[in-house]
């Protein structure tokens, strides 16, 4: 990883993650909350709140949006900002770290190419795994030829690191 001062409890983010979070907060506060407030006011004006589904939906949406903003602000407050400095990984940049693209092979010979990203940028459907994910944790610090063991509900899955690109 780019910083030696990280521990497993740190919420790691990149400067790019910080920008994305700030943009999301702005979008929620300036667009989504005002829209939800309008929906809430309209539903409130409809009268009987006991059987007013639009009122309940608007109320729940507002609650979610405010909770999301608080969560994002908490991330900004407590996150440890690091750069995905691909050259700073140990062993001459040949071990898996933040920002690495890793080619893995399972016991059946199937190949999987993943990128190790911050938890904020994780997108498993697009093969971007956070440093806090089970697969991310299994491969962090590994180098070409080493085994990464992933515990799954179906038992252990063993991957061999075929290639590390930093």
**pLDDT, tens digit, for every residue of 114-163?**
999 999 899 999 999 999 899 999 999 999 999 999 998 999 999 999 99
Classify residue 1: in a domain, yes or no: no
* CATH code for the domain in which residue 33 is found: 1.10.287.180
**Number of folded domains that form the chain:** 2
Claim to verify: residue 21 and residue 39 sit in the same structural domain: yes
Separation CA 30–CA 34 (nearest Å) = 7
Classify residue 2: in a domain, yes or no: no
* CATH code for the domain in which residue 115 is found: 3.10.50.30
Place of tokens 């040949």: 94
How confident is residue 166, by pLDDT bands cut at 50, 70 and 90?
confident
How confident is residue 8, by pLDDT bands cut at 50, 70 and 90?
very low
Domain extent for 116: 90-165
Claim to verify: residue 73 and residue 119 sit in the same structural domain: no
Claim to verify: residue 67 and residue 96 sit in the same structural domain: no
H-run or E-run covering 42: helix 33-45
**pLDDT, tens digit, for every residue of 11-34?**
888 899 999 999 999 999 999 999
Give how far Cα 17 sits from Cα of 14, 21, 151, Å. Answer: 5, 6, 29
């Amino acid at each position: 990883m780019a910083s030696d001062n990280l521990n497993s409890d740190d919420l790691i983010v990149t400067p790019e993650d910080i920008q994305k979070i700030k943009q999301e907060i702005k979008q929620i506060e300036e667009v989504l909350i005002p829209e939800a407030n309008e929906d809430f006011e309209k539903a409130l004006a409809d009268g009987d709140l006991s059987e007013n589904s639009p009122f309940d939906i608007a109320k729940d949406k507002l609650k979610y949006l405010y909770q999301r903003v608080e969560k994002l602000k908490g991330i900004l407050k407590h996150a440890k900002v690091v750069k995905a400095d691909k050259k700073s990984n140990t062993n001459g940049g040949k071990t898996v770290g933040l920002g690495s693209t890793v080619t893995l092979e399972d016991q059946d010979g199937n190949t999987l190419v993943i990128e190790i990203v911050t938890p904020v940028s994780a997108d498993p459907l697009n093969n971007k795994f956070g440093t806090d994910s089970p697969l991310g944790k299994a491969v962090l610090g590994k180098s070409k030829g080493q085994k990464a063991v992933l515990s799954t509900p179906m038992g252990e899955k063993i991957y061999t690191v075929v290639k590390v690109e930093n």
